[in-house]
Amino acid sequence: MNPLTALFETFGQSIWLDFIRRDLLTEGNLDLMIHADGIRGVTSNPSIFHKAITGTGVYDEAISNHLSSNPGIGTEALFEALAVEDIQTAADILRGVYDASGGTDGFVSLEVSPHLAGDTAGTVAAAHRLWDRVGRPNVMIKVPATAAGIPAIETLIADGINVNATLMFSMGDYEAVASAYLKGLAACADPARVASVASFFVSRVDTAVDRALEEIGTPEALELRGRAAVANAKLVYRRFGEIFHGEAFAPLAARGAHVQRPLWASTSTKNPSYSPVKYVEELIGPETVNTIPLITLEAFRDVGKPQRTVDLDVEAAEEALARIAALGIDLDVITDTLQADGVVAFCQAYDALVKTLERRTKELALG
């Protein structure tokens, strides 16, 4: 059996592809991956679209068509039009997965502008616009779990809009997002029609904590490298079980509401001394999603060993984080910084995309 397909069929974990590009959609490759690798969703972000649109000539014809039909189109409006087309196509390809899952899987995620990360009202308005423009039931609007994003998530869930809550790094982030989801569902006219995932970032935590451990440099500190990120995620998974399989969610479940699955994001391996599938193999379990970039997906197809791991050795995970804290490393400070840096990185990618797209439109206009 393909190790990728075993993740869902045996362990109940959905694999979403952390990549989108027009030729992936138009040449049948996504459809092939759905059937051969068990791909059950697609995620996008400004960095992915930046590489897709500006890194190749795949979009040149579409850009030219938009310029011909609407010569005065602004660069940001042009990007949104291209992105919406891709999201619509991917959603249509995944519609069979969505229908077969009863509306719990088969989603494609589209992010609001990262420049809205501090603007609650702007986020809600942008999410509504994108939701209406895509016009597919299996789209999720990505909203960052910032201080301004949390109330936006609650409002959007109450309005019946699917949300992928993103840029989560800490237990505090997770609990705030889960609470927003529960409050939104309670105010939603038909909670059974709403779906959401809580995107919890993984590998970047190890990158930051490992750096701090190496600065300390003692044998104990060095022995703890590569343990913080998975431990952090395992405790979040345990908290997920307490919230969504406990009394708090029971009344909503009786109304047909779906659990908000944890989604493991940033699961490519940044440290070459670690296994290329570390952040897949060590977080496998039911009612979870892992969004995987192409290089990690191919590595797991080749060498992955599927087995349930997400709820194994949770006490050891607690101990590892306690030992890291005892060394003077404040994980909350690190995760807060990672979220802030993530917003900045997505803003930079978005701005670079707009700048490069503007240059490309001028080149195409000049022939």
Active site residues: 142
Q: How far apart are CA 293 and CA 152, in angstroms?
A: 28
From 329, 326, 341, 308, select the one nearest 10 (Cα to Cα).
308
Q: Which two tokens stand for residue 26?
A: 């138009």
Structure tokens at 126: 């942008």
Name the E strands within the chain: 13-17, 39-42, 107-111, 139-144, 163-168, 196-201, 261-265, 288-292
**Buried-state track 214-242, b at ≥16 Cβ within 10 A, e below 16:** eeeeeeebeebbbbbbbbbbbbbbeebee
Contact at 8 Å (CB) between 17 and 42?
Answer: yes
Residues 6+ apart with CB under 8 A from 224: 213, 320, 323, 324, 327
Residue 64 Cα distances to 70, 237, 362, angstroms? 10, 46, 10
Rounded CA-CA distance 34/17 in Å is 10
Cα torsion at 249, 252, 258, 259 (round to 10°)? Answer: -10
46 residue type, one letter: P
What phi and psi values does residue 328 have, to the nearest 5 degrees?
95, 10
Helix (H, G, I), strand (E, B) or coil at 150: helix
Residues 6+ apart with CB under 8 A from 55: none
Structure tokens at 301: 């197809």
Which tokens belong to 300? 């797991």
Beta partners for residue 163, in sequence order: 141, 196
Look up residue 311 and give its DSSP letter: T
CA–CA separation, 321 vs 229, rounded Å?
Answer: 9
